[in-house]
Chain A
Amino acid sequence: MAVTNHIRRSMIFLNTQRAALVKEAFVYHPDCVIFDLEDAVAEGEKDSARIQLYQTLKNVDYQGVERWVRVNALDSDLINEDIRAAVAGGAEGIRLPKTETAAEVQAAADKIAAAETEFNRPVGKTMMMAALESPLGIMNAYEIATASDRMMGIALSAGDYTRTMHAKRTVAGTELFGARSQMLIAARAAGVMAFATVYTDTDNEAGFVDELRLIKDMGFDGKSCINPKQIGVTHAVFNPSAAEIKHAEHVMQAVADSKANGVGVLTVDGKMVDIAWVEGAQRTLKLAQAAGIYKGALV
């Protein structure tokens, strides 16, 4: 699996057709950008967006923000050129839309490998993620997540999914409960990351925060964003709180102490601590460090 240390709390979609959007989206400090060649780009501007993508990847320093490209669907006649442009430009990853089977991931991976060879890039370096947008995609989540060593993660895309499920979009997200749970289980079993669908009501910050809290508590790694203003809010929810950091520090300190003293039972902040929590504490501190809010040495 494409496991890296990069944190991916936020992945913001940018319409690559629009010069003003792609020229300096890094100033919003997202963890990742997704240059979109698919739905956001008008049919007649696919060529233009692709060339803008290539020039942006080549010439604009994105200051460490991870650059993903959402290519057009596998069954379109656009994907080959999309992948060639993205790989030639040096994108960190390709996001495959409307994924339903492992075979599709493998087919796209083959195209990426061919492009890497053509453009003299290290073969296997370009990561992949797959968007699951249908009941079949959700059913096959584990196979999709394990279909290629390039796979970094899977993402839910709720628009088409909800339609196919004959479900209604609700504020609470009840209709997505099954899909979220199932894909998250698949992602964890496969050892890849899991990302939640976009929140389209960009003026409803309170609703957005509620949804962020829900998906964070469920275990998601990050959120797809469609407006720069969602980035700061997303990070605020995904970042560990000061209290969480403090507690994680105490846990790690207690582990160190118990190792030194040879005591088997951990007690932290007056409570017994299960050894299973240690991994969580470690993850909290790592995330806090990567987010720039923890400078301690206990990571």
Chain B
Amino acid sequence: MQTIKQAVAGTVESSDAQVMILPQAGGLKITLDSSVYDQYGQHIIALIIETAQALGLDDALIKVVDKGALDCTIKARVETAYYRAIGQTTNLPWGCSKWQ
């Protein structure tokens, strides 16, 4: 299990999402508050889980407040919060398969 500290990324501006990652044992837990919950909520939750798993984040509480962000932004905010949580800012694995 990775050592992570609490981290946050993104904003609550329209078309953005704010993602908070908190250390928590026992698997991934997602909370989602979304302005488009009824149409995209399940899709967004699946996307968050998929993105977290691709990063190797298996144990955490991920709290997301979504203001109608597109998928690319939701992914970007999860990834940013993750790299902040593990304290890595350079030499990110751009272009590898898990980043597609």
Contact = CB atoms under 8 A, between A and B. Distances in A.
Contacts of B75: 55, 59
B76 A51 contact: yes
A23 B99 contact: no
A55 B92 CA distance: 13
A182 interface: no
A120 B95 contact: yes
A55 B69 CA distance: 13
Contacts of B100: 58
Interface string A80-94: 110011001100000
Q: Which range holds the interface residue count of chain A?
A: 20 to 34
Contact size range, B = 20 to 34
B73 A55 contact: yes
B94 A88 contact: yes
B59 interface: no
A19 to B, nearest CB: 4
Contact of A54 (B9, B15, B99): B99
In terms of DSSP, what is the predominant structure of the interface of chain A?
Answer: helix
Q: Which of A19, A85, A120 has the most CB of B within 10 A?
A: A19
Contact of B9 (A20, A48, A89, A120): A48
A52 B94 contact: no
Nearest to A60: B72
A55 to B, nearest CB: 4
Q: Which of A58, A80, A85 has the most CB of B within 10 A?
A: A58
Interface in A15-37: 18-20, 23
A60 B71 CA distance: 10
Q: Which of B71, B84, B92 has the most CB of A within 10 A?
A: B92
B90 interface: yes
A81 B90 CA distance: 6
A18 B16 CA distance: 8
Nearest to A81: B90
A166 to B, nearest CB: 38
25 contacts: A18-B13, A23-B70, A23-B72, A23-B73, A47-B80, A47-B83, A48-B76, A48-B77, A48-B80, A51-B76, A51-B92, A54-B99, A55-B72, A55-B73, A55-B76, A55-B79, A56-B76, A58-B100, A59-B75, A60-B70, A81-B89, A84-B92, A88-B94, A119-B94, A119-B95
